Structure formats: C-alpha cells, structure tokens
Structure 1
Amino acid sequence: MIKRYLITDPSFYTSDATQFLQKLLHVKAKHQPDYVCLRDKENVSYKTLAKTLAKSDIQDENTKLFLHTDFALAHSLGCAGVHLPSHSFDQIEKAKALGLEVIVSTHTFDEACMAEKYGADAITFSPIFATPNKGKPVGLEKLKEINDKIKPKCFALGGIINEEHVKACEAIGVYGFASIRFFID
C-alpha cells in the first residue's frame, strides 16, 4: 500500500502550539499518515512548535515525525528525520551522520540524481498535478520516469487532493504520496 506523507502548512494550521497539536492529532487519527513533516518557514516559534510535537503522540510506531530543514533540531528532539529543500544537497550527509532519515524535495531529474548521489533515503518529486503557485505540473509520466530511474524512495507531491490522485500515483509504483491539502478537513 502506498505510504502517506502529511506536510503541514501554516495557512491550514495555527501558530498556537496547543491548538496546532489538537488539530494535527485529529487529522492524524482521520488519515493515518505514515510520515508527518512540520513545515512552517515563517513561524518565529518554530522550535516551540517542534518541541510540542516531539513530546506528543504524533510520532509513534506507525508515524514518523520529520522537521523541515533544521536537521540539528530534528536530531535533538528525537524526530525520525528531516525534509530538506532542493538546494540543500550538502546537508544530506550531515543529517545522515546524526542518524536521521532524509527526504529531499526535487523538481527535476538532475535534482533527483543529486539527492541519490548524496545519500538521501527518499525524495519528493513535484508538482505532479496543478497546485497553487508551483508552476506547470510535470505529470504522471515524468513521475514514473523518475521513480523507475532512481534508488531512493519516491513520494509524489503537488496537487494530490483526492483518492483518484492517490490511486493514479500508486498505479505508477511510487513508494508514497506527500500532500498538504489531501489531509485537510
């Protein structure tokens, strides 16, 4: 079965740690993601939010907690891994040295190859379908090409908002799908 990767976004969650956790626990119970990534590039209280999630029931035997970009914080809080942006290939080895799983955002075949070369465990490849402010979708054909040519696990990302999209990605044979909007009530 295809793995589910929930990525948070501040426009759908609050910056209040208690409310954020309550909402995320509700979404987790409903959708049962295998991975959760705390992604919030603007929150000045990101560390507080990360600490709240790390102390909660978000990460358990069925769900791995990842932080976005900050591998040192992910390590110190006992998170399973870190999700790095596509320009951070040089950070992969540092994160791996701390025992973290590493997922890297990619948008081209060259980026996917770089992530593989530096030892990433997985990539997200995007955008597969139309998604706000993310450019022209690459489509399922390109996703299949990338998935078939690289060794790291591949998560489809971008515009995956319903079960039809999930099934289309699963039919290609990718390891999983990642989404923000799929996991929103």
Structure 2
Amino acid sequence: MAFWKSLLKDIDFYLVTDSGLSRKGTLSDVKCAVAAGCKIVQYREKDKTTKEMIEEAILIRKICGENAIFLVNDRIDVALAAGADGVHIGQDDMPIDSARRILGENKIIGLTVHDTDEAIEAERKGADYVGFSPVFDTTTKKDAGMGVGPERIQAVRKTINIPIVAIGGINKDNCISVIEKGVDSLVAISAIVCSDDVRRETEYFIETIRKTKQKYIQQS
C-alpha cells in the first residue's frame, strides 16, 4: 500500500458513492467509474446496517482490485473487515493518531479540512491527504456548511505538501476554476451518480482535470 500512497498526487478524479442519489446503484457506479479510469473510490454509506455495509464493501474491494484505491468513509471497522486500502474521516470522527494505531502505517488516511489551520494540523498528525470542503454549496452532505469558494484552495496549497482533494458542489460548469487553484483531485458526486452514463461522465472529468492540470503546470 505504500505504492498507492506514492501515487496519490497523480490521481485525478475521486469517486464518492451515494446510494441515496445513485440512479443505477452503488456497485454499478463503482464498476463504471473504475472502467473509465477512476483511481480512487470512497464508499460512503449512512443508511445500511454494518453487516450490509461490510458485504457491499467487500464487493467494491473486488471491483477496485489493483486498478483503484478503495477507501471507506468514517467506518474503520468496515474498512478492516472489507480489506480496504484505508479510510476517510472527518473533523468530528476518530482522531488520526487513534485511527493510525488501529490501521497501521501502510493504510491511507484522508481527513476533511475546512481551512488552512486544519490542513496544517492534518499534515502534522500524519494524514496522507486532505479533503478540502465545501468548495461550493452542496446538498449531498447536509452538515457540510456553506461553500467557501475555490480561492481558499490556493492558501491551503501554499501551506501543505500532501495532496488536496476538493469536494462540495463541484460540477462541469465550475470544475476548471477549482483545478486551476492547485488541487490534486476533485469529487463531483451529483454530476456522476445522478447521471445516466457514469462511465462517460467520469471520463469527462478525468480528461478535463488532466488537461487543466497540465495547463496549470505550464503557467506556473
């Protein structure tokens, strides 16, 4: 898994599942996204039992195989039971140092941050990447708060060296403005899982992210 950690900066589109919004189901979304080239999948599920989550997570682990990093949102127990590559946790979840003791050094731990102070602290405590949220207003996570705008990303980028994943209200119309601020990857939940063609939409975001990042690098 140290190999996957080394590739985090090269990941473009980051899929977060949402069974409540999905038109064709979580497993279908993951299959299509991975087939399109998505290299990181986060299983986020709030409405199923622990048993149901473990069973579904095991199936997602198989779909990801050696082609994509598989993370579980919040639930370290589910991540361990399913053999996930790591977890993504929030500011109010288990502290990073406790999660690290349970998961070990080779697992990936991502942490949601909302400003530069939290980002600096996340890196100091050993997070492998941060999820900066919310960039724009979003309805997919009720407690996300108001969007702070893509400009804040630049301040975070200047203060930490670990990868930044942007999330919150990102879609086709505003994704370029987010990528241009220096993120390594982004999440667009509704734009993907509410689509009739998850593979096509994932391919669009991957291509757009890569082209914009290349342009950003050339201008830097």
Gaps of 5+ in 2: 1-9, 196-220
Describe the shift of the 1:176–1:95 C-alpha distance in structure 2 as closer, same or farther (beyond 3 A): farther
Distance 2:171 2:132 in 1: 16
Which residue is 2:57 aligned to? 50
Contact 1:92–1:119 (Cα < 8 Å) also in 2: no
Note the C-alpha offset of 1:76: 4.2
Identity of aligned residues (%): 24
Which residue is 1:179 aligned to? 188
Which residue is 1:159 aligned to? 169
Secondary structure of the equivalent of 1:139? coil
Describe the shift of the 1:52–1:167 C-alpha distance in structure 2 as closer, same or farther (beyond 3 A): same
Secondary structure of the equivalent of 1:46? helix
Secondary structure of the equivalent of 1:6? strand
Distance 1:118 1:64 in 2: 22
Secondary structure of the equivalent of 2:64? coil
RCO comparison, higher one (Cα < 8 Å, 6+): 2
Q: Deviations over 1:14-35 (max 9, x none)?
A: 8xxx9532343124334x3221
Note the C-alpha offset of 1:95: 5.1
Which residue is 1:38 aligned to? 43
Residues 136-151 of structure 1 correspond to what in structure 2 (within 5 A)? 136-151=146-161
Q: 1:24 aligns with which of 23, 30, 37?
A: 30
Note the C-alpha offset of 1:168: 1.6
Distance 1:182 1:34 in 2: 17
More helix by share: 2
Which residue is 2:17 aligned to? 8
Residues 125-136 of structure 1 correspond to what in structure 2 (within 5 A)? 125-132=132-139, 133=142, 134-136=144-146
TM-score by length of 1: 0.83
Distance 1:150 1:119 in 2: 12
Distance 1:115 1:142 in 2: 17
Distance 2:90 2:191 in 1: 21
Describe the shift of the 1:2–1:172 C-alpha distance in structure 2 as closer, same or farther (beyond 3 A): farther
Q: Deviations over 1:24-80 (max 9, x none)?
A: 3124334x32211000122112111112212x222323x111111223432443322
